[in-house]
């Protein structure tokens, strides 16, 4: 019986980090609520340790800056959209 060990996460930053560290992506899906699910082959049970390593790495800081920039863009887009709707 072939039972491949896996590591799962819904965090795209953690998913990218464990890929950089060598875990192989098995599947990437999205549930009905829009939540992501990344499943990795994890034969050596490294996924949980790597996800903690991520939190303490510069990759987590990079991920946080990406999220902040996306929020800024989203908020500025909302302001522009509101302004356009008001003017019309």
Residue 40 falls within a domain, yes or no? Answer: yes
Residue 1 falls within a domain, yes or no? Answer: no
What residue numbers bound the domain in which 49 lies? 6-87
Q: What is the pLDDT of residues 12-46, one digit of tens each?
A: 999 999 999 999 999 999 999 999 999 999 999 99
Residue 39 falls within a domain, yes or no? Answer: yes
C-alpha closest to that of 63 among 4, 5, 20? 20
If one counts the domains in the chain, the total is 1
Residue 21 falls within a domain, yes or no? Answer: yes
Q: Which residues, other chains included, contact 64 with Cβ-Cβ below 8 Å and sequence gap of 6+? A: none
Residue 47 falls within a domain, yes or no? Answer: yes
Count of Cβ atoms closer than 10 Å to residue 57 Cβ: 16
Residue that is written with structure tokens 């959209």 in the block: 81
The alpha helices in 30-57, defined as continuous H runs, are 47-55
The per-residue pLDDT for 88 is 53
| Helix, strand or coil, per DSSP, at residue 58 | helix
């Amino acid at each position: 019986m072939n039972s491949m060990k896996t590591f799962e996460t819904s965090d795209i930053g953690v998913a990218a980090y464990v890929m950089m560290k060598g875990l192989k992506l098995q599947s990437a899906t999205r549930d009905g609520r829009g939540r992501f699910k990344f499943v990795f082959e994890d034969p050596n049970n490294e996924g949980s340790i790597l996800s903690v390593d991520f939190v303490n790495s510069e990759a987590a800081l990079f991920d946080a800056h990406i999220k902040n920039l996306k929020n800024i863009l989203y908020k500025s887009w909302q302001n522009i959209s509101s302004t356009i709707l008001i003017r019309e």
